[in-house]
Chains A and B, each alone.
Chain A
């Protein structure tokens, strides 16, 4: 079966760095997406990885290891507005996104 595993909740301090891990098992693989979702709002696209390695985009970076079925999202210089849920979504062989339940990130001053 297809499965996504992310921590349910994480807490970090403003100005610090946090890494949100995601492990996945899918039928085939066509890349992995990360989305951010603030409470009561729609998910918004953060990053896409299809090759192994690190993709950097400002304060956010995303890493992929296809052989390990593993990805992480790295958030630097945390701000209060980064308090949100972060959704990991690999794309399977049918180009369908398989969504994790998300990691709720709480930022404390």
Chain B
């Protein structure tokens, strides 16, 4: 157990509404990641963070923003949700980004945008 929680675990929302997902870790890991997982696709990186206030884009960052004001929390915001953002969202953490820094995943958030 890598001490990662995600909230909410399930959410149904309507197109055009803002949504914020939270990832919380208890072990002070430096790196945190947001992925989405859709049927037929591998995990796709949305954004990641390498420290407080230090974030960078992944391959599918359009329509998403992130913030990390504390080491333990990494927030993912959908400014105006669309149906194409219906997905399962996973947060992950790692100690570093070197060769042997394994990523450990939170339990996921299932988001449905109607």
Contact = CB atoms under 8 A, between A and B. Distances in A.
Is the A/B pair a real complex?
yes
- Majority secondary structure, B binding face: loop
A31 B100 contact: yes
A98 B103 CA distance: 12
The interface size bin for chain B is 20 to 34
B90 A101 contact: no
B62 interface: no
Interface stretch (A12-20, A41-49, A57-65, A70-78): A41-49
B42 A95 contact: no
Contacts of B45: 96-97
A98 B41 CA distance: 11
Interface residues of A, number: 22
B42 A30 contact: no
Given A42-B106, A45-B104, A101 B99 contact: no
Interface in B44-84: 44-45, 58
Interface of B: 40-45, 58, 90, 97-108
Interface of A: 4, 30-31, 33, 41-45, 48, 50, 87, 89, 91, 95-102
